[in-house]
Structure 1
Amino acid sequence: MQYEFMLDGRAATDMARAIVARRCLTDGAQSYLEAIDAAITQNGSVCVAPTPHTDNTLRPFLHALAGELRNPFPWGPPFTQELKLDNWGQLFNVGQPIARIEMRLLEVSQRLGFEFGEIPGRPEPALLIRLRSGTVVGLMARPRIGDPGVEIFANGAVDVPRVLSEISGIMALHPNQIAVLQQPVARNQIPSEERKAQQRGLLPDLEPLASGVERWSPERLARHRVVIDEDGRFRTIDGGVLDTRMASASWRPNTELALFVMDPHGNLYVSLRRVVSRIHHSTLAGGGPVAAAGELRVRDGQLLTLTDHSGHYPPTRSDNQIIVAELQQRGVNIANVLFDFAAKE
Structure 2
Amino acid sequence: MTRAAVLAGVGSYLPPRRVTNDDLAAAMDTSDSWIRTRTGIRQRFFASEGMATSDLAVEAGAQALKSAGETTADAVVVATMTPDRPCPGTAPTVATRLGLGGAMAFDINAVCTGFVYGLATAQGLITAGTAERVLLIGAETHSSVLNPDDRSTSVIFGDGAGGVLLRAGEADELGALGPTVLGSDGEGADLITVRAGGSRQRLSGSPPGPADHYFAMQGRAVFWHAVTRMAESCRAVLERAGRRLDEVDRLVSHQANLRIINHLADELGVPRDRALVNIDRVGNTGAASIPIALAEADAEGVLRAGEHVLLTAFGGGLTWGSTVLTWPGLQRT
Same fold (TM over 0.5): no
- Please, what TM-score do these two structures have when normalized by structure 2? 0.28
- Please, what TM-score do these two structures have when normalized by structure 1? 0.27
Structure holding more strand per residue: 2
Structure holding more helix per residue: 2
Larger C-alpha radius of gyration, 1 or 2? 1
